[in-house]
C-alpha cells in the first residue's frame, strides 16, 4: 500500500482542501493547521532545493573524476560553492550572523554575486535585441506591430524622446496603460483560470503525473 | 577621483569585464566567471535556506521551545533524498504530495483573488475611450485563447482583434525588458568608470 499512490493522493487532497477551507474559515482548527502547513511547506520545499544542489554538485564532481571536456571549470564551480559556504560559517562564528553588514559573507554577496548577476542580466540586453531582430523581422502585420510597439516603448523611455516631443513619453505611457494592460489582463485572467483548473485536478487526484 | 585601491572593487570590476568579454566571443575568462557565479549563487541560496529555515524554523523551535512537532517536516524533507536510492524512491512521493497539495491549496484562493481583481479592473467605472479599449482588448484576448470554438466567422474576426492586442502587449513588454537590461548595463558602466577607474564622479 505504501508503495502505491493512494497515500500521496490522500495527503495532497487533505492538505489542499484544508488550506482552501482555512482561507474562508481562518479560525481554529483550520487557521492553526494552515499556519503549521505553511511552516512545514517552507521546510520541506527547501529540501527539494537541496536535492537540486546535490544533483548539480554530483554532476560536476563526476565531470572532474572522468576528466570530461572543460572539467577544470567544474573545479571553479565547486570552489565558488565551498568558498561562500566556508566564509559563511566563519562569518557566523565571528559575528554571530553571517548576514550582518561588514561580514566577509556579505562582502562576497555585494562584490561578487551582485555585480556578476547584474552584468549577466545586462548582457542579455544585447542577446535579446539580436535574437529579436532575427525572430521579429517585419514579415507580416503582427510582427510589424510588435516591432513598432517595442521601438516606441524603448524610445519613449529615454530622455531624448521628451526633447523631441513631450507627447512621445505620454504616448508610451498610454500604450503601457491601455492596449498593453488589456492584453496583460487577458493573459493574467487566462493564467488564473488555468491555475485554478490544474490545482483542482491535482487536489481531486485527476492529475497524477507529479507522482510518477 | 583616482583609481580604486579596494580589493573588492577590483574583484567586482574584473568579474564584470570577464562577463562582458563574451560579447566578443566565448572565452576562458567568461567561462570562469560564469562558473564562479553559479557556484557562489547556489552556496548563497543554501546559506539563506539554512539560516532562514533550518535555524529559524527547525533548530530554534526544537532546542529552545522543545517543539518536537518540527521533526515531522524534517523527516519528510529527508525522505526527498530517497529518490537517490533505487527501490526506496517511492518514499519521496509523500513529501512531494505534501508540497504539491499545499501549493495547490494556496494557489486556488490567490488565483481567484487575482482573477476578481483583474475582472474588477476591466469593468469600466467611467466610460472613457481608454476603458472601452481595455474592455474590448481583454475580451478579444480571452476569446483568442478559447480554443474550444473554431476561429472562423465572427469569432475569427474577434480573435484577429485579440492577436493585435497581444502583439502590442508583447511588443511593449519586450521594449520594457530591453530598457530594464539597458539600465543595468548603464549601472555596470557607471561602476567601472566611477567606482573602479574614478573617471566619472
Give tens-digit pLDDT for B173-196: 999 998 999 999 999 999 999 999
Nearest CA in chain A to B23: A123
Residue A32 at interface with chain B, using a CB cutoff of 8 Å: no
Asked if B174 and A132 come within 8 Å (Cβ–Cβ), the reply is yes
Distance of CA A42 to the CA centre of its chain: 16
Asked if A76 and B15 come within 8 Å (Cβ–Cβ), the reply is no
The per-residue pLDDT for B84 is 86
Q: List the domain range (segments joined by +) for residue A44.
A: 1-63
Distances (CA, A) of B140 to A10, A147, B165: 40, 21, 8
* Claim to verify: residue A53 and residue A75 sit in the same structural domain: no
* Claim to verify: residue A35 and residue A82 sit in the same structural domain: no
Asked whether residue A149 is assigned to any structural domain, the reply reads no
The per-residue pLDDT for A102 is 86
Q: Which of A87, A106, A125 is the last residue of a domain?
A: A125
* Claim to verify: residue A52 and residue A85 sit in the same structural domain: no
Residue A90 at interface with chain B, using a CB cutoff of 8 Å: no
Q: Which residues contact B107 (CB under 8 A, 6 or more apart)?
A: A195, A196, A199
> Which of B8, B15, B135 is facing A107, going by the closest CB pair?
B8
Q: Rounded to an integer, what distance in angstroms lies between the CA atom of residue A173 and that of residue B105?
A: 37
- Which helix (H) or strand (E) segment holds residue A79: the answer is helix A71-95
Q: How confident is the model at residue A140 (pLDDT cuts 50, 70, 90)?
A: confident
* Claim to verify: residue A53 and residue A4 sit in the same structural domain: yes
Mean pLDDT of B142-160: 92
Asked whether residue A160 is assigned to any structural domain, the reply reads no
Domain limits of chain B?
A: 124-201
* Claim to verify: residue A58 and residue A80 sit in the same structural domain: no
The per-residue pLDDT for B201 is 77
> How many separate domains does chain A show?
2
Q: How confident is the model at residue B127 (pLDDT cuts 50, 70, 90)?
A: confident
Residue A8 has pLDDT above 70, yes or no: yes
* Claim to verify: residue A104 and residue A77 sit in the same structural domain: yes
Tell me what ipTM this predicted complex has: 0.83
Q: DSSP secondary structure string, B70-96?
A: GHHHHHHHHHGGGGGSTTTGGGGHHHH
Q: Rounded to an integer, what distance in angstroms lies between the CA atom of residue A63 and that of residue A52?
A: 17
Residue B64 has pLDDT above 80, yes or no: yes
Alpha helix segments (H runs only) across chain A: 6-24, 30-66, 71-95, 104-108, 114-135, 141-156, 159-164, 167-177, 179-203
Q: Which three cell numbers stand for residue B57?
A: 524554523
Longest dimension (CA), chain B: 71
Q: Rounded to an integer, what distance in angstroms lies between the CA atom of residue B198 and that of residue B201?
A: 7
Amino acid at each position: 500500500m505504501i508503495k502505491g499512490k493512494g497515500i500521496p493522493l490522500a495527503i495532497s487532497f487533505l492538505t489542499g482542501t484544508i488550506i482552501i477551507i482555512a482561507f474562508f474559515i481562518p479560525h481554529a482548527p483550520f487557521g492553526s493547521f494552515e499556519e503549521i502547513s505553511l511552516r512545514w511547506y517552507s521546510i520541506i520545499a527547501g529540501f527539494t532545493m537541496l536535492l537540486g544542489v546535490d544533483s548539480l554538485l554530483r554532476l560536476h564532481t563526476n565531470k572532474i573524476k572522468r576528466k570530461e571536456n572543460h572539467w577544470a571549470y567544474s573545479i571553479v564551480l565547486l570552489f565558488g560553492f565551498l568558498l561562500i559556504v566556508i566564509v559563511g560559517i566563519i562569518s557566523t562564528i565571528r559575528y554571530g550572523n553571517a548576514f550582518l553588514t561588514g561580514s566577509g559573507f556579505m562582502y562576497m554577496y555585494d562584490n561578487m554575486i551582485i555585480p556578476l548577476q547584474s552584468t549577466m542580466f545586462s548582457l542579455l540586453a544585447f542577446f535579446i535585441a539580436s535574437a529579436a531582430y532575427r525572430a521579429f523581422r517585419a514579415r507580416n502585420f503582427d510582427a510589424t506591430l510588435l516591432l513598432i510597439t517595442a521601438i516606441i516603448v524603448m524610445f519613449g523611455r529615454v530622455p531624448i524622446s521628451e526633447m523631441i516631443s513631450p507627447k512621445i513619453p505620454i504616448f508610451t505611457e498610454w500604450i503601457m496603460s491601455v492596449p498593453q494592460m488589456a492584453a496583460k489582463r487577458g493573459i493574467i485572467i487566462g493564467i488564473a483560470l488555468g491555475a485554478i483548473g490544474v490545482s483542482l485536478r491535482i487536489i481531486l487526484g485527476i492529475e497524477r503525473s507529479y507522482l510518477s | 577621483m583616482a583609481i580604486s585601491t579596494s580589493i573588492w572593487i577590483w574583484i567586482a570590476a574584473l568579474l564584470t569585464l570577464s562577463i562582458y568579454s563574451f560579447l566578443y566571443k566565448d572565452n576562458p575568462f567568461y567561462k570562469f566567471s560564469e562558473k564562479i557565479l553559479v557556484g557562489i549563487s547556489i552556496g548563497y541560496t543554501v546559506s539563506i535556506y539554512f539560516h532562514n529555515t533550518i535555524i529559524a524554523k527547525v533548530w530554534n523551535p526544537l532546542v529552545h521551545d522543545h517543539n518536537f512537532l518540527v521533526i515531522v517536516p524534517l523527516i519528510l524533507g529527508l525522505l526527498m533524498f530517497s529518490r537517490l536510492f533505487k527501490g526506496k524512491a517511492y518514499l519521496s512521493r509523500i513529501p512531494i504530495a505534501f508540497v504539491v497539495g499545499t501549493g495547490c491549496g494556496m494557489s486556488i484562493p490567490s488565483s481567484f483573488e487575482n482573477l476578481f481583481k483583474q475582472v474588477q479592473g476591466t469593468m469600466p467605472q467611467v466610460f472613457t475611450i481608454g476603458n472601452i479599449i481595455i474592455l474590448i482588448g481583454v475580451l478579444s484576448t480571452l476569446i483568442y485563447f478559447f480554443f474550444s470554438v473554431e476561429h472562423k466567422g465572427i469569432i475569427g474576426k474577434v480573435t484577429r482583434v485579440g492577436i493585435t492586442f497581444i502583439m502590442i502587449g508583447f511588443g511593449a513588454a519586450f521594449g520594457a525588458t530591453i530598457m530594464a537590461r539597458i539600465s543595468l548595463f548603464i549601472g555596470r558602466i557607471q561602476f567601472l568608470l566611477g567606482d573602479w577607474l574614478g573617471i566619472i564622479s
